[in-house]
Structure 1
Amino acid sequence: MRSLRSRTLWRVMLLLLAGTGLLALYNYHDSSHEIAEIYDAHLAQNARLLQGVMSLPLAGTERQTLYRAFNEALSQSGEGRPGHPYENKLAFAVWSDDGELHVRSPSAPSFDKPPQAPGFSNETRDAQQWRSFVLPVQAQKLVIWVGERYDVRDDLVGRIVRHTLMPYLAGSLALALLVWLAIGWGLEPLQNMARVIRGRHPDSLEPLQLVPLPRELEPMQAALNRLLSQVESLLQREHRFIADAAHEMRTPLAVLRLHAQNAAQADNEQERQQALGFLIDGVDRLSRVVNQLLTLARLEPASNRSHWKALDVQALVTDSLAELTPWMLRQQVEPDLEIASGDYLTRSDRGALEVVLQNLVSNAVNFSPAGASVRVALERQGGDLLLTVQDSGPGIEEARLERAFERFYSEGNPNGAGLGLSIVSRAVQRLGGDVQLSNRPEGGLQARVRLPVLVESQP
C-alpha cells in the first residue's frame, strides 16, 4: 500500500486539478462568448463607419475617386508590408441596392448578389467560415457587408487558453511539490510516534506519553496504550497461571512419585494395593486442581456481554441441582431447593453462572456431615437475583471469612485445592454481581450471591 503522503497528495491534486479544470472550462466558454461579443461590436462599428463615409455628399466623379482610393489603399495590405496579419481575415463590401458593387476589400469572399438579410449571421464562403454583419442603408440605397473569418476568433481564444494553461500547469507542478512538503511536515508527529514505537524494547509495555501530540493522534495513542495494558494484563495472567500451577502441583507430584515408589518397593500385595490406592487418590486430587486452575484461567478476562443470551435462571438452577443430586446422595447429603415465585428471566453468561452454582454446592457438600442437607434458594429482591447456598458444616471463623476467597486458601479440607471460592468470586465479578459469606446462627456456612437483572435489549 502506498504511503499516506502519496495517497493524500494524489487526492488533493486530483481534486485541485478537477476543480481548476472546471473553472478553466467555464472561463474558456465565457471568454469565447465575450470575444464574440467584442468582435460583433467591432463588425457593427466598422459597418457604421463605412455608412458614414459612403454617406458623404459627393458628386459622382468624386464618389468614384473615393471608391478608387478605397480599393487602392486596401490593395496595399499583405505580407512584407506594414500592417497586421489579421488584415486579410477582415473584409467588407458595399453594393447599391440594385446589386452594383461599389467597393470591396481584397480579402472579401465572392458574392453572386448582395446579401439581403440584415444583422449578424454565420455563413460559409470560398471554403471559409465567416461571421457577417449586413447593414442596409435605405437613404443612400446601399447594402454594407462586413465580415470576419472565424479562424481569427479561434486563434485569439486559443492564445488566451494557452497563455492561461501554461502558467497553470507549471504552477500545478510547483504546488504539488509544496503540498508534498506540507503533508510531510503535517505527518511528522505520526512519524515521530512510529520512531518511538520502533525504538522501544520488546519487553517494554509502559504507556506511550508523547507530548505535544496533535488531537488527531490522541485516539491512536489511547488505543495503543489500551492495547499495551491488555497485553500486560494477559502476560500477568499467564505468569500468574504458571506460578499458580507450579505452586499447586509441586507437592502433589512429589507425593505421587512417593506413592509410585512405595508401590514398586512394596513387600507384599496388601502394601502394593494400599500404595496404588493412595496414588489413585493423588491423581484424582491433581485432576481436580488442574480443572479448577483451567476454570479460573477462563474466568480471568474482563467481562464481555456481547455473547450473553436470554436465560431463565430458575430453569438453570433446577437443572444444575438435578445433575448434582446423584453425587450429593452418594455423599449422603440431601439437596433442598426453594425458589420463590417470580420472573427470573435475564441476560447472562450461562457457563459462568453454572460454575458459581456448582462450586458453591460442591463446597457445601464437602463440609456437610453425613445425613445433613444443603439448601439452595432463589428469589427476586428489587432489580436483583439472590442465590443462596447453605450447608450444615462447621462454618469459618469470622476473622478468616475474608480470606476464604483467596487462591489456594483451604479451611478444614485437606483434599481441597483452595480454588473453589476464588473461582466463585471471579465468576460473580464477571457477571456484575457480588458474593458474601456468613456463618449461620444454627451452624453452617451461608453464601449469598447477588446478580443484577439485565433485560434483553441491553448490550
Structure 2
Amino acid sequence: MTVAPKIDVRDLKSVRAAARASNSVVLGDDFVAPRPDDPLAKRPRGRRLMDLRKSPLARKIIMFNLLALIVVVAGVLYLNPARDNLAYQRSSALVNEVELIADVFEAQFPVSAPVNLMSGDGADARITLENLDLRGGVDVYLFDTQGNLIDRRSDPVSEDPPVRGLILDRQGVFLTKILSDLWSRGVGLFRNNTAPAQPDLTEALAAKVPETLAGGTWIETRRDRSGRSYFNAQTPVVQQGGTPVGVVALVSAPGELDALVARDREQLLQMFMIGILISVVMSLALASTIAFPLSDLAKAAELGREKNARKMSPHRVRIPDLSGRPDEIGRLSSAMRGMVSALFERIEGNEQFAADVAHEIKNPLASLQSAVGTLRVVKNDDQRNRMLDVIEHDVQRLDRLVSDISNASRLDSELVKEEEESFNLLKTLDHLTEYLGNQAREKGVDFISDLPEGSIEIMGLEGRLAQVFVNLISNAISFCEDGDAIRVWVRRRENRVLVVVEDTGPGIPEGALQKVFQRFYSERPEQQFGDNSGLGLAISKQIVEAHGGVIWAENIHPTDADIGSEPLGARFVVGLPV
C-alpha cells in the first residue's frame, strides 16, 4: 500500500492531490470497473428516476419546490386583481347600457306636452321596452317617480346567438375545474355566509328610486341567495327641461362575473399544473444529481463500519471518484478519498511504530536477560559490579525509551487540542540560547547566538516549538567536543523565517541525512550508545510540519564543489511561516 501524501481536508487542492496520488483506496478507472467481489459492484448499472422514491433527500427537494410553487400560486389567486378589473369593465358597460335605454325613452317624449309613464301619456313605455333588443340575460325595470313598477322586460333567450369576433371559449380542463372548485370551497370557508335574507328584488329597486332621482346614475354589486354576483344600475328618465318622469333599472344576470373570474382562475390553474409538472421533472433531475452520488458515498462509508469490516482488505474500501464535479459533492468525494487515504496511512504508521517499539524494547530486554544470566554464575565482585552497571544502564534505557514512546504517541492528540497563539520567536530563542549556551560552555564548546534586532511574531504553539529548538541544540552539544563551536542564527524572509543550528562536530553520514528523522534511528558514537531513544528528531519534524513548516539536515562542506570531502559539521534548518 502506497502511503498517501499529507493532506489538509480544509484545502480542496490538497485533498484532490492526495486522492489522485493515493493507491490505498480504489480511485479513478478502478471505480468505473470494480472487481466482481466488490460489494458496490452489485449496484445496478442504470438508475431510474423511480428509484428516488426511496430517497428522503429527493422527497424533501420535491416537497420544498412544490411548496414554494403552491405558495406563489395561492398568493396570486388571492391577490389577483382580475375580479376587480372585470367588475369595473362590466359595471362601466352596464352604466352605458342603462343610460342608453333612458335616452331611448327621452327621445320619444314630446317637447312641451306633459309626460306620464304610468298612463302612457306622451310615450308608450311598454311598447318601447318590448322593442329593446337585450343580451346577456339582463332585466330592465321601469319605475315612475313614486317608485311604482310600470313594466319589466327580460332577455327572453337564455343563450344569446354568437356574434362574429365575440366568442368566449368556456371549455376547461376537468382537473382544473376540480381545482377551481376546491379553491372556491376553500375561500368560502373564510367568507361570511350568514348574510341576512335578501328582500324581493322589485321592492329593493323601488326603494332606491328616490336616491336615483336625487343623485343620478349609480351602480352596485350584490349577491343573490345562492351567492352569485350581479349588478344593479339605475338612472333617471328626464323630460326635456330636466323634469324627471321615471327611473330605469338594469339588473345583470347572476353569476356572470363569477363565470368570467372562474375562467381566468382555470387558466391560471392550468399554468399551475404545467408548473407543477415542470417543477417535479426538474426536481427529480436535480435530486438524481445529488441523491445518487451521496447514496454511493454513504454506501462506501457504511462498508467500513460494518461488523465484518475488520475482515475486509483495505483495497475493498472504495470511495467513488466525483472530484470532477465543480460543486460541494465533488469536494466531499475528494475529502472522503483523502481522509480514507490518510486513515490508511495512519494505520500503517501505527503498525510500523508498534513494530519498531517492540524491536527497540527487545534490545535492552535481551541485554538485561544476558546480564542477569551472567550475574548468576560470576563469583568475582568486579564482574558482578560490572553486570549490575549493565543492568542499571539497561533499566535507565528502558525508562527513557518508554517515556519517549509515551510522549510520541500523545503528540498528535495534544497538537490538536492545544490552542495556537501569537508569540515573539526571537524572545523565545534568546531565552533558550542563554540557558543552553551555558551548558555548551561548561563542556568547552563555543556557543554563538546570532539573532536579529526587533521581533518576529509567528502563530503557533510556543512550548512545542521550543521543544524542537531545545532538541536540536542539545543534539549539537552532545556531538561536539572540547574546542568545537555551535552557532544559532535566524533570518527573516518574505513569508517565512529560518532558524538554523550549526555545529563543528563530526557531521552526518550522507546516507543518513533523511534517516535521522525516522523513529528510533540514531547515529551516535559508541560511548553514547543507549543514551538516546532516536525519537527526538522524529518528534521535532512532526511538530514543525504541524505548524506548516519544514525541517531538514545537511552537512557543512568547505565548498559546494567539493561535496565529497569530509564535512566540517552539521546544519539543521527549520523554516516556519510568518
For Structure 1 versus Structure 2, the TM-score category normalised by the shorter chain is 0.7 to 0.9
2:144 is aligned with 1:95? yes
Maintained 8 Å contact 1:312/1:345: yes
Between 1:354-363 and 1:114-123, the stretch displaced more is 114-123
Q: Does the CA contact (< 8 Å) of 1:344 and 1:380 recur in 2?
A: no
Where 1:55 maps in the other structure, the secondary structure is helix
Say whether 1:52 aligns with 2:104.
yes
Question: 1:256 matched to which residue of 2?
Answer: 368
After superposition, residues 34-183 of structure 1 pair within 5 angstroms as: 34-53=86-105, 55-56=107-108, 66-68=124-126, 90-95=139-144, 99=146, 103-105=150-152, 107-108=201-202, 109-111=205-207, 113=210, 115-122=213-220, 131-139=232-240, 141=243, 142-148=245-251, 152=255, 155-156=258-259, 159-160=262-263, 163=266, 178=281, 181-183=284-286
Question: Under a length normalisation based on structure 1, what TM-score does the superposition of the two structures give?
Answer: 0.72
> Contact (CA 8 Å) 2:57, 2:291: kept in 1 or not?
no
Displacement after TM superposition at 1:235 (Å): 2.0
Q: TM-score, normalised by structure 2?
A: 0.60
One-letter amino acid of the counterpart of residue 235, structure 2: V
CA shift, 1:373, in A, is 6.1
Which of the numbers 442, 450, 473 marks the counterpart of 1:339?
450
Counterpart AA for 1:139: Q
Q: C-alpha distance in 2, partners of 1:10/1:360?
A: 63
Tell me which residue corresponds to 2:61.
8
Compare 5-14 and 400-409 and name the one that shifted more: 400-409
Give the corresponding residue for 1:277: 389
CA RMSD in angstroms, aligned pairs only: 4.8
| Structure 1 residues 337 and 185: alpha-carbon distance in aligned structure 2, compared to 1, 3 A threshold | closer
* 1:78 corresponds to: none
* Letter of the structure 2 residue corresponding to residue 190 of structure 1: P
Q: For 1:123-163, what per-residue CA distance to the aligned partner results, in whole angstroms no more than 9, with x for missing partners?
A: 99999996333144342843433243796566446644775
Q: Is the 8 A contact 1:401 1:437 kept in 2?
A: yes
| Alignment-derived partner of residue 533 in structure 2 | 417
How far did 1:253 drift? 2.5
Q: Residues 60-104 of structure 1: CA distance to partner in whole angstroms, max 9, x if unpaired?
A: 887689335578999xxxxxxxx99x65xx4422436xx585724
SS at match of 1:248: helix
1:436 matched to 2:549 = no
> What amino acid does structure 2 have at the position aligned with 1:105?
R
- Kindly indicate whether the alpha-carbon contact (under 8 Å) linking 2:143 and 2:206 is maintained by their aligned counterparts in 1: no
396 and 32 in structure 1: CA distance in 2 versus 1, 3 angstrom threshold? closer
Q: CA deviation at 1:179?
A: 5.9
1:345, distance to aligned residue in structure 2 (A): 1.8
Which amino acid is 1:287 matched to? D
Give a deviation string over 1:165-204, Cα, whole Å, max 9, x none.
7767877876776566445544464256347626867524
Contact residue 9 and residue 183 of structure 1 kept, 8 A: no
Q: Deviations over 1:325-363 (max 9, x none)?
A: 78768x845573523442342314424432332222332
Letter in 1 for 2:529: P
Offset at 1:12? 0.9
Structure 2: gaps spanning 5 or more residues:
1-54, 154-200, 559-565
| 1:77 matched residue in structure 2 | none
Q: Does the CA-based 8 Å contact 2:322-2:330 persist in structure 1?
A: no
Amino acid at match of 1:148: V
Aligned with 1:22 (options 47, 69, 75): 75
- Mean CA deviation greater in 44-53 or 181-190: 181-190
Supply the distance in 2 between the matched residues of 1:162 and 1:42 (Cα, whole angstroms).
24
- Residues 121, 131 of structure 1: 8 Å contact kept: yes
Verify the 8 A CA contact 1:377 1:389 in the aligned structure 2. Answer: yes
Which secondary structure state, in structure 2, belongs to the residue aligned with residue 115 of structure 1?
helix
CA distance in 1, matches of 2:437, 2:534: 23
CA distance in 1, matches of 2:222, 2:144: 20
In structure 1, how many angstroms separate the alpha carbons of the residues matched to 2:395 and 2:349? 26
Task: Please tell me whether the aligned partners of residues 435 and 448 of structure 1 are also in contact (alpha carbons under 8 angstroms).
Answer: yes
Structure 2 distance, partners of 1:276, 1:343, is 54
Distance, in Å, in 2 between the alignment partners of 1:212 and 1:317 is 47
**8 Å Cα contact 2:105-2:128 kept in structure 1:** no
Aligned to 2:339: 227
Identity of aligned residues (%): 17
- CA separation in 2, counterparts of 1:49 and 1:63? 19
- 2:449 matched to 1:359? no
Distance of 1:65 and 1:381 partners within structure 2: 115
1:381, distance to aligned residue in structure 2 (A)? 5.9
The structural deviation recorded for 1:16 is: 0.7
SS of residue paired to 1:437? strand
Supply the AA of the counterpart residue of 1:446.
A
| One-letter amino acid of the counterpart of residue 390, structure 1 | D
The gaps in structure 1 that reach 5 residues or longer are 75-82, 455-459
Letter in 1 for 2:503: Q
Q: Judging changes above 3 Å, is the alpha-carbon distance between structure 1 residues 171 and 446 closer, same or farther for their aligned structure 2 residues?
A: closer
When residues 264 and 351 of structure 1 are mapped into structure 2, their CA distance, relative to the original with a 3 A threshold, is farther
Q: Distance in 1 between matches of 2:467 and 2:224?
A: 103
2:488 aligned partner = 377
- Against the structure 1 CA distance between its residues 268 and 123, is the aligned structure 2 distance closer, same or farther, given a 3 Å change threshold? same
CA-CA distance at 1:251 after TM superposition: 1.6
Match of residue 293 from structure 2: 190
Instruction: Specify the alignment match of 1:80 in structure 2.
Output: none
Aligned partner letter, 2:554: L
Higher alpha-carbon deviation: 173-182 or 243-252: 173-182
1:224 Cα deviation from its structure 2 partner: 1.8
Seen in structure 2, the aligned counterparts of structure 1 residues 134 and 367 have a Cα distance that, compared at 3 Å, is: same
Residue in 2 that maps onto 1:368: 480
Contact 1:439 1:446 in 2 (8 A): yes
- Number of matched pairs: 434
CA distance in 1 between counterparts of 2:569 and 2:148 reads 132
